[in-house]
Amino acid sequence: MNRTFASIVLLVLSAVAVLAQASSAATPAPASSTPATPTINQSGVKVGVIDMQGAIAGSNEGQRDFETLAKKFEPRRVELQKQNTDIEDLKKQLNTQGDKMNAEAHEVLVKSIESKTKNLQRSAEDAQNEFQQQQNEIAQRILQKMAPVITKYVSDNGYGLLLDASAPWPQGPVVVATQSVDITKAVVDAYNVQSGVPAPAKPAASTTTPRPTPTTPVTTKPSATATTTPAKPAATTPPPKPQ
């Protein structure tokens, strides 16, 4: 989801900048007989950073919706994992018994492996694409509602520049930033209040699936060897890709 997500982030941050400029332009300047001159404080422009992916993953709404999406795709993930296991069993059979088979049985087994592998590949790619599309839809919906919250926070706190720190440098614009300029948590807290979505219940002590964290990427590539769900936003693990 990274490329599509980045496009969404750019659109939202552009909207934030436009809204902030419009708000500033709407405030009438005091009458003066001399031309106005720009005032820059001694510290320069106030700069902030926000982890947009982290803000989505860390919001109550994001955790809820990504977890719902993960549960929706869990049966397909399990089925694809089962198909992958069946193929691996056939490969082991070929490796251990192939030299003992007659030519016809050997050919039938090889073709069966090839056919099942192609079917699994197509099914895994379809599931992956559908999964990422629905991830992007969730992200876009939350970002659109979060944009006014970001705009208000930036305006209220006098920020002149806001950078997205979702992607590490050089993929992203931020090389390093201290915690003092990171407004992610503040925006998430404000958005949680506005959305009214309660915080998700904490998992029981026996639950092995970890909760998402604000800095966790929103998407991963499938893995044929994965047998457990890694920590991702709302446990959003795509189906496995066949070996």
Report d(CA 44, CA 129) in Å as an integer: 45
Return all residues near 63 (Cβ < 8 A) that are at least 6 apart.
Answer: 57, 200, 211, 212, 233, 234
Beta pairing class for 47-50 and 161-164: parallel
Confidence of residue 183 (pLDDT cuts 50, 70, 90): very high
Query: Higher model confidence: residue 9 or residue 104?
Result: 104
pLDDT band at 2; cut points 50, 70, 90: low
pTM score of the predicted model: 0.65
Q: How confident is the model at residue 65 (pLDDT cuts 50, 70, 90)?
A: very high
Alpha-carbon distance values, 6 to 12, 55, 128, 165 (Å): 10, 14, 19, 11
Q: Tens digits of per-residue pLDDT, 162-181?
A: 999 999 888 888 988 888 99
Q: Quick count: other Cβ atoms within 10 Å of Cβ 138?
A: 23
Residue linked to tokens 């007989």: 33
The mean per-residue pLDDT over the stretch 149-171 comes to 93
- Supply 64's token pair: 């809820």
Query: Is the confidence at residue 26, as pLDDT, over 50?
Result: no
Instruction: Please check the confidence at residue 237 and state whether its pLDDT lies above 60.
Output: no
In the predicted model, what is the mean pLDDT of the chain?
Answer: 76
The pLDDT value given to residue 17: 43
H or E element at residue 162: strand 161-164
Report d(CA 127, CA 73) in Å as an integer.
8
Cβ neighbours for 61, distance < 8 A, ≥ 6 positions apart: 142, 191, 192, 195, 197
Domain ranges of the chain: 2-20+45-180+209-235
Phi, psi of 116 (to 5 degrees): -65, -35
